[in-house]
Amino acid sequence: MSNRRKFIKGGILGAVGAAIFPKIALSEGKKNPHSTNGFPMVISTWSHGIPANEAAMKVLLKGGSAIDAVEAGVRVPEADPESMSVGYGGLPDRDGHVTLDACIMDHTGNCGSVSFLQHIKHPISVARKVMEKTPHVMLSGAGALKFALDNGFPKEDLLTDKARKRWEEWLKDSQYKPIINVENHDTIGLLALDQNGDISGACTTSGLSYKMHGRVGDSPIIGAGMFVDNEVGGCCATGVGEAVMKTLGSFLIVELMRQGASPQEACEEGIARIVKNQNYRDMQIGYLAINKQGEHGAYSVHPWFNYALHQGGSSELIDSPFYIQK
Ligand code: ASP
């Protein structure tokens, strides 16, 4: 048996606990009042996903599209100063600048993104405008800012007092070294299946805190931080973006589902590709995936990754199964 197979087997038998199988309860037990096929549904990373999912589900329950839902959903943590890894209130880079990355993708395969964007509270909405109003996929830095301003987005100071104080504390003994560890990040990636069964996704972040100025992570890279294919499913990532970019994780996971893997198996294989070649002990990476039936999977390198699921009329926060068994 190949190492890859062993990993999948070990992962499923060894690490996937009861927490990951509400999908069985959802499809066999809890009936979705709006659909018998597992949708509409919304799923997203971390606890800030709970209010984001609520906002997205409101759109879906009115018959709205997945693309409108994902945008509405992630705008909630983008505007929340307490969500210190996304949008307004996000922790800055090592020079004290809040720089944002985001991407969005719809069920037709259309997509848009912005990277290294400053002063705009809702990068996801700028990414959507890039998708809808330009022939391009990604705008970056000063060009992205100019595009946002030209399209009526207000220029704002995104560095809150709380974030500035944290950064000043960090500066005291950081020696100005960017860090990659298991805790200095928390992107929101959000996937939705609407009442027509169409999938869209969004991903938005202030990236790794205290990163080098100009650093861009996986979150705005279509296929790395997020990817959807309406024939198959969708995936989004959180954690150390460098590791996700090196394996083009979200695209990989969607392709594995196309070849027959369940969302859970595909997420485990996505993590397997990372731990195979990279020093994973210092890095947290989490993947979330859904398929067209509304089944989902999640997997991370370390414990402590959780995700929010809104499906079948209920909203819950679920602990992801993980690779490292101490
Ligand atoms: N993936 C993001 C990045 O590398 C970080 C995160 O998930 O918070 O920028």
Tens of each residue's pLDDT in the chain, 326 residues: 333 333 333 333 333 333 333 333 333 333 333 334 488 999 999 999 999 999 999 999 999 999 999 999 999 999 999 999 999 999 999 999 999 999 999 999 999 999 999 999 999 999 999 999 999 999 999 999 999 999 999 999 999 999 999 999 999 988 777 766 655 568 999 999 999 999 999 999 999 999 999 999 999 999 999 999 999 999 999 999 999 999 999 999 999 999 999 999 999 999 999 999 878 888 999 999 999 999 999 999 999 899 999 999 999 999 999 999 76
β-strands 226-229, 199-205: how paired?
A: unpaired
Alpha-carbon distance 173 to 267, whole Å?
37
| Substitution candidate for ligand 1 out of 185, 302, 305 with most atoms within 8 A of CB | 185
- Beta bridge partners, 25, equal none
User: Phi and psi for 180 in degrees, rounded to 5?
Assistant: -125, 115
Orientation of helix 66-79 relative to helix 123-133, angle to 10°:
150
What domains can you pick out in the chain, each with its CATH number? 38-319 (3.60.20.30)
Q: What share of the chain is helix, strand, coil (3-state, %, to 5)?
A: 35, 20, 40
CB half-sphere exposure, 104, CA atoms < 13 A: 25
Question: Which ligand 1 atom is at minimum distance from the Cα of 216?
Answer: 9
Residue 280, pLDDT score:
87
- Among candidate residues 267, 320, 254, 224, the one with its CA nearest the CA of residue 18: 320
Sheet holding 296-300, edge to edge: 226-229, 233-239, 285-291, 296-300
Is residue 40 within 8 Å of 62, Cβ to Cβ?
no
Alpha-carbon distance 123 to 206, whole Å?
10
Q: Is the pTM of this model over 0.75?
A: yes
Q: Annotated catalytic residue: which of 45, 99, 187, 238?
A: 187
For residue 187, indicate whether it is catalytic: yes
323 φψ region: left (φ > 0), alpha (ψ -120 to 50), beta (else) = alpha
- Among candidate residues 162, 156, 84, the one with its CA nearest the CA of residue 122: 156
Q: How far is the CA of 320 from the centre of ligand 1 (A)?
A: 17
Give CA separation, 97 vs 13, 136, 183, 210, 301, in Å. 44, 26, 20, 9, 29
106 residue type, one letter: D
Q: How far is the CA of 244 from the centre of ligand 1 (A)?
A: 9
Alpha-carbon distance 44 to 78, whole Å?
14
